[in-house]
């Protein structure tokens, strides 16, 4: 996905985050985070649950006050010019926030009223946005009759009503079926390419980040671990990965494998070796030869080309997450997932 340069030059930073931190009690949800987003790009925040993605977005959209640090969004300070920030950005939150008892169109008009957009403008604009997200037929139906995909598209339309220069998308495809997810991806691309909008999105779906984002920040435990384009991140994992399973648990031959010229790194876990190498196709016969020469037996060999998944796991580790998260946030996430499936 090449960064198509349309409209305004991409050099200027539309978001500047400086040493932003947020502490809840003892938990450092976001810890000293700094990054910049260029005008016109899709910037992804990628990380496991509880990594601090939503907290970061909430601070940048002025819903949360940072414990320390500062940020400028669209040139406005998030603390001192909160209302200017709010006027210039659109927010599509993770949960479905539309009012169930109102029609889709009235929900959009309500959002417009909250921005102070006169009805003379918001009425035709709402129609256009409903057309953009392909909801014009359901516009006058109550949201309680909408499917999960329709709700998500409605949220997107609400987030666009104030002509934002920058759109925040928090987990835009959480729990959606493949069709809706593909449609949401299409809208996101349209927004960038035709509306020249800058987007900041969070996700924990890696293929989503890979195909949509120009740059990705991997965030975990409140820290940004790595920022780069999807290609840069994949390369940084260090090429191909060969996984070899050996019948015998002992001896450990990691250091012998590491001697092979193409091999960059070896990690042993029980009888499984995870070997990072260049030119995996050439390295793997050399590795199996070496193992045989030690009198050991290879049970399984696999070669993987780098994916964003590999990079992600490399940076965030393979441990399962069992952190305690905010009760209310979990409740909302469950509601979102449940409604997405309806």
Chain centre distance of CA 212 = 9
118 or 295: CB nearest another protein: 118
Residue 154 CA neighbour count, 13 Å, CB half? 34
Count the residues of the shown chain that bind another protein, applying the rule CB under 8 A.
49
Among 4, 49, 68, 114, binds another protein (CB under 8 A): 114
- Least Å distance, CB 131 to another protein, is 8
Listed residue (161, 197, 7) closest to 87, CA to CA: 161
How far apart, in whole angstroms, are the C-alpha atoms of residue 30 and residue 28? 6
Listed residue (85, 35, 40, 33) closest to 61, CA to CA: 85
177: exposed, middle or buried (C-beta count within 10 Å: 0-12, 13-18, 19+)? middle
- Least Å distance, CB 82 to another protein, is 8
- Least Å distance, CB 194 to another protein, is 6
Binding mask 85-104 toward another protein (x if CB under 8 A, else -) reads: -xx---x-x-xxxxx-xx--
- Least Å distance, CB 187 to another protein, is 11
User: Is position 141 an interface residue for another protein (rule: CB under 8 A)?
Assistant: no
- Locate the DSSP E strands across the chain: 13-24, 27-38, 42-46, 68-73, 76-77, 89-92, 166-170, 198-203, 215-220, 223-228, 240-246, 263-269, 272-277, 298-304
Q: Torsions phi, psi of 193, nearest 5?
A: -80, -40
User: Is position 189 an interface residue for another protein (rule: CB under 8 A)?
Assistant: yes
162 or 203: CB nearest another protein: 162
45 or 212: CB nearest another protein: 212
User: Is position 117 an interface residue for another protein (rule: CB under 8 A)?
Assistant: yes
180 or 316: CB nearest another protein: 180
* Straight-line distance from the first to the last Cα atom of the chain, in angstroms, rounded to the nearest whole number: 33
- Least Å distance, CB 91 to another protein, is 4
User: Is position 182 an interface residue for another protein (rule: CB under 8 A)?
Assistant: yes
User: Is position 61 an interface residue for another protein (rule: CB under 8 A)?
Assistant: yes
Binding mask 196-235 toward another protein (x if CB under 8 A, else -) reads: xx---------x--xx------------------------
Q: What share of the chain is helix, strand, coil (3-state, %, to 5)?
A: 40, 25, 35
Q: Which helix (H) or strand (E) holds 146?
A: none
**Cβ-based neighbours of 118, under 8 Å, separated by 6 or more:** none
- Could you say which residues in the range 153-172 bind another protein, by CB under 8 A? 158, 162-163
User: Is position 27 an interface residue for another protein (rule: CB under 8 A)?
Assistant: no
Q: Find the part of the chain contacting another protein (CB under 8 A) among 31-39, 82-90, 272-280, 314-322.
A: 82-90
Listed residue (18, 86, 87, 84) closest to 56, CA to CA: 18
Among 27, 195, 227, 268, binds another protein (CB under 8 A): 195
Task: Provide the 8-state DSSP code for 227.
Answer: E
Q: Torsions phi, psi of 248, nearest 5?
A: -85, 140
Q: Torsions phi, psi of 338, nearest 5?
A: -65, -45
- Could you say which residues in the range 302-331 bind another protein, by CB under 8 A? 328, 331
Residues that bind another protein (CB under 8 A): 1, 61-65, 83, 86-87, 91, 93, 95-99, 101-102, 110-111, 113-118, 120-121, 128, 132, 158, 162-163, 182-183, 185-186, 189, 194-197, 207, 210-211, 328, 331-332, 335
């Amino acid at each position: 996905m090449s960064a198509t340069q349309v409209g305004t030059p991409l050099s200027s930073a539309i978001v500047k985050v400086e040493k932003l931190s947020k502490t809840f009690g003892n938990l450092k949800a976001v810890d000293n985070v700094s990054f910049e987003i260029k005008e016109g790009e899709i910037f992804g925040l990628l990380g496991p649950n509880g990594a601090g993605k939503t907290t970061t977005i909430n601070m940048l959209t002025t819903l949360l006050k940072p414990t320390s640090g500062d940020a400028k969004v669209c040139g406005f300070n998030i603390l001192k010019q909160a209302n200017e920030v709010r006027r210039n950005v659109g927010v599509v939150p993770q949960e479905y926030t539309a009012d169930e008892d109102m029609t889709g169109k009235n929900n959009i008009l309500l959002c417009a009223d909250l921005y102070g957009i006169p009805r003379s403008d918001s009425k035709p604009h709402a129609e256009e946005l409903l057309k953009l997200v392909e909801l014009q037929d359901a516009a006058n139906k109550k949201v309680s009759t909408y499917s999960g995909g329709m709700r998500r598209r409605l949220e997107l339309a609400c987030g666009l009503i104030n002509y934002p220069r920058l759109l925040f998308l928090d987990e835009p495809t959480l729990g959606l079926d493949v069709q809706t997810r593909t449609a949401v991806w299409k809208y996101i691309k349209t927004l960038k390419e035709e509306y020249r909008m800058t987007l900041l999105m969070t996700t924990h779906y890696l293929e989503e980040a890979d195909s949509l984002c120009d740059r990705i920040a991997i965030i975990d435990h409140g820290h940004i671990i790595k920022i780069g384009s999807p290609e840069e991140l994949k390369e940084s994992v260090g090429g191909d990965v060969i996984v070899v399973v050996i019948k015998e648990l002992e001896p450990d031959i990691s250091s012998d494998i590491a001697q092979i010229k193409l091999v960059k790194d070896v990690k042993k876990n029980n009888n499984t070796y995870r070997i990072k190498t260049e030119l995996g196709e050439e390295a793997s016969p050399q590795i199996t030869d070496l193992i045989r020469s030690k009198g050991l037996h290879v049970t399984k060999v696999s070669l993987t080309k780098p994916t964003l998944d590999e990079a992600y796991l490399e940076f965030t580790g393979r441990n399962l997450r069992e952190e305690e998260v905010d009760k209310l946030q979990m409740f909302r996430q469950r509601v979102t997932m449940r409604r997405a499936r309806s």
